[in-house]
Homo-oligomer: A and B are copies of this chain.
Amino acid sequence: MTNEGTREGVEPLTGAALTRARVLDAAARLIGTVGLVRATTKQIAREAGCSEAALYKHFRDKEEIFVRVLRERAPRLAAAVAELPERAGQGTVREHLEAVVVVAVPFYRQSFPMAGGLLASPELLAAHRRKLDKAGPHHVSSHLADYLRAEQQLGRVAADVDPDAAAMLLIGACFHRAFLEVFYAGEGPAEAFRPAALDEFAHATVRALLGAIQAPEA
């Protein structure tokens, strides 16, 4: 219980904050391994090395633990994409879009087990939605569309393209890919969904988006 930064060294987390962090880590780990429905208060407490009652010294209820995990432990996808418009004109469009894919797929993969629990329970979903003022899931594609619009004005993206539709295509592909990775975790047509294939996926997907699919004469 006495804690100098002996073990972590970098982070001088004191008792209370340390326990809080351990609870969030435990919850995140359990959600990823055994799923949201088996991530019970008893399991979280055991994994965090404290009692069930201790959870309620730091969080109002179980739902708040999950909300905090989603907000404090998830990669900041929306924020990363929101910075893209500023980079318009630098590097290549292809590089930026591939970077989005490489960030977005793991983010969605990690978020799916938790989001799944929300989709299965409209009341949880409504509660969570209210807390996501400007970080809602639709902002990812809309920020990406903003970036494409900026590149359009710079002439690096064709003028007759609908930025919203193009952004939806790319983000949707990442979203679907992440779903398939979770769905076939460990089994199924795994060779296509192994993490090492992410770079290939990013390359092929961005290439398809950038290219024309319609034959010249058709």
Task: State the A residues within 8 Å of B (CB).
Answer: 33-38, 93, 112-123, 125-126, 129, 136-138, 141, 148, 155-162, 164-166, 168-177, 179-180, 182-185, 187-189, 192, 204-205, 207-218
Main secondary structure of the interface of A (DSSP, over half): helix
Alpha-carbon distance between A216 and B166 when the two chains are bound, in angstroms:
17
Q: Which residues of B contact A170 (CB under 8 A)?
A: 169
Q: Smallest CB–CB gap between A74 and chain B, Å?
A: 15
Cross-chain contact A204 with B37 (CB below 8 angstroms): no
Cross-chain contact A218 with B183 (CB below 8 angstroms): no
Partner of A211, one of B37, B120, B214, B217: B214
Cross-chain contact A176 with B166 (CB below 8 angstroms): no
9 contacts between A and B (CB under 8 A): A129-B184, A129-B187, A136-B188, A138-B189, A157-B214, A158-B211, A169-B208, A175-B175, A211-B212
Question: In the complex, which residue of chain B has the Cβ closest to the Cβ of A173?
Answer: B172
Cross-chain contact B176 with A168 (CB below 8 angstroms): yes
Cross-chain contact A38 with B213 (CB below 8 angstroms): no
Which 7 A/B pairs are nearest by Cβ-Cβ distance? A116-B119, A172-B172, A212-B212, A172-B173, A165-B208, A172-B176, A36-B120
Q: Smallest CB–CB gap between A211 and chain B, Å?
A: 6
Most buried by B among A35, A112, A116: A116
Alpha-carbon distance between A179 and B165 when the two chains are bound, in angstroms:
16
